């Protein structure tokens, strides 16, 4: 490091103390405006760069937040939805003079309950966990003393702060919309034993059926993935409903491809709605009517929570739901 100008260098040139330089550069009281101005100008001239590390040392804060994404959510398979969320997170963090350090949690570490090195090296002041992790890993994470926030999933334990989309309500409104369009035989696509968001979306769908006095027909509930989360070939029932609620856009895409192959046209023969409004929503033909997850809002909540918890560790927010927004396209047909 050659170009290493410190506050002391500036102080020496001006014949003042480094304390005064510190105050001036941080716009704190205790320096005359005149001197402050002089110092700022000289700092600029000398190409001074603030050393955030020193402040960190003093305060015991790294000003970094670790963002943990399980590797199965970070790959191509999931359309990097989570990477887009990560991007929003870093943007919000930056506006608070914080930075994100991404940690992809690989399956081996998850199984062996290995915490990321950024934890062991005190490189971060807290963790945002983005995407469902195993029960055991949740417990491991809980055991550490740093603030943490779960994003896009939650655990039955009430004492962990989490930010999730309002899956229940979104699916409920989606199903209502189908019913408004005359549909009475409505199926659901998603493995109910896979993730909590699939479950919640299912329950929202179910509530809408109940409210409208419609029977839940079990042959209309289709599996979309196996227990490891890998997508499987969707089995189309002999007896078809007039519409499907899919748990996500990618699955809707898979479903529509499958239906098309069987000569079933969407939306003419069968309507389809889904969740996420990711690339699959527009890539699919017809475009999908879907619930858009409010990524910005979720990221913003998660960041605000974690920063509040760093400042005051007694703060607690519980489970916070972020409402989605229906985006209308052409995958639903009015019938009846």
Partner DNA sequence: CTGAAAGCGCTTACAG
Which residues of this protein are in contact with DNA, per CB under 7 A? 1, 4, 6-8, 15-20, 22-23, 25-26, 29-33, 35, 48, 50-51, 53-55, 57-58, 60
How many Å apart are CA 282 and CA 327, to the nearest integer?
11
The H or E element spanning position 96 is none
Total residues contacting a second copy (rule CB under 8 A)?
48
- Residue list 83-122, contact with a second copy (CB under 8 A): 83-84, 86-87, 90-91, 94, 97, 99-104, 117-122
User: Shortest approach of DNA to residue 13 CB, angstroms?
Assistant: 12
Please check whether residue 175 is in contact with residue 335, taking contact to mean a CB–CB distance below 8 angstroms: no
From DNA, a second copy, none, interface partner of 94 (C-beta below 5 to 8 A by class): a second copy
CB atoms within 10 A of CB 35: 15
**What distance, in Å, lies between the first and last C-alpha atoms of the chain?**
75
From DNA, a second copy, none, interface partner of 330 (C-beta below 5 to 8 A by class): none
For residue 279, with 0-12 CB atoms within 10 Å meaning exposed, 13-18 middle and 19 or more buried, which class applies? middle
- Residue list 15-74, contact with a second copy (CB under 8 A): 49-54, 56-57, 60, 62, 64, 74
From a second copy, DNA, none, interface partner of 278 (C-beta below 5 to 8 A by class): a second copy
From start to end of 35-180, where are the E strands?
Answer: 64-70, 99-105, 127-130, 148-151, 162-165
Q: What are phi and psi of 134, to 5 degrees?
A: -65, 155
How many Å apart are CA 70 and CA 112, to the nearest integer?
13
- Residue list 128-167, contact with a second copy (CB under 8 A): 145
From a second copy, DNA, none, interface partner of 215 (C-beta below 5 to 8 A by class): none
Nearer CB in complex with DNA: 33/218: 33
Nearer CB in complex with DNA: 61/192: 61
Binding to a second copy by residue 326, rule CB under 8 A?
Answer: no
Contacts with 275 (C-beta within 8 Å, 6 or more apart), sequence order: 167, 170, 171, 174, 201, 246, 247, 248, 249, 290, 291, 293, 324
254-293 footprint of a second copy as x/- string (CB under 8 A)? ---x--------------------xx---x-x--------
Nearer CB in complex with a second copy: 104/192: 104
260 cis-preceded (ω within 30 degrees of 0)? no
């Amino acid at each position: 490091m050659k170009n290493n100008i410190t506050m002391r260098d500036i102080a020496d040139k001006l014949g003042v103390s480094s304390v005064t330089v510190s105050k001036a550069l941080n716009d704190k009281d205790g320096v005359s405006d005149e001197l402050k101005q002089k110092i700022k100008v000289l700092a600029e001239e000398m190409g001074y760069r603030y050393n955030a590390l020193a402040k960190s040392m003093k305060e015991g804060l790294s000003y970094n937040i670790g963002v943990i994404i399980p590797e199965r959510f970070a790959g191509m398979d999931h359309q990097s939805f989570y990477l887009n969320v990560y991007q929003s997170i870093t943007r919000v963090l930056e506006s608070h003079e914080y930075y994100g350090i991404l940690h992809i949690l690989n399956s081996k570490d998850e199984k062996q309950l290995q915490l990321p090195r950024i934890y062991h090296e005190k490189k971060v002041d807290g963790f945002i966990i983005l995407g469902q992790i195993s029960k055991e890993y949740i417990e491991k994470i809980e055991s550490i003393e740093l603030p943490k926030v779960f994003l896009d999933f939650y655990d039955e334990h009430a004492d962990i702060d989490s930010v999730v989309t309002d899956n229940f309500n979104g699916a409920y409104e989606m199903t209502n919309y189908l019913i408004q369009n005359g549909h009475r035989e409505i199926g659901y696509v998603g493995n109910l034993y896979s993730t909590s968001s699939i479950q919640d979306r299912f329950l929202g769908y179910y509530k809408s059926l109940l409210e409208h006095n419609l029977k839940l027909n079990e042959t209309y509930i289709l599996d979309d993935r196996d227990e490891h989360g890998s997508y499987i070939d969707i089995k189309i029932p002999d007896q078809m409903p007039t519409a499907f609620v899919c748990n996500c856009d990618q699955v809707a895409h898979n479903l529509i491809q499958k239906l098309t192959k069987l000569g079933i046209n969407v939306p003419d023969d069968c309507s389809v709605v889904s969740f996420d409004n990711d690339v699959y929503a527009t890539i699919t033909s017809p475009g999908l009517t879907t619930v858009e997850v409010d990524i910005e809002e979720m990221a913003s909540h998660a960041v605000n929570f974690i920063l509040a918890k760093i400042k005051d560790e007694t703060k607690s927010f519980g489970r916070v739901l972020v409402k989605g927004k229906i985006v209308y396209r052409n995958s639903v047909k009015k019938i009846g």
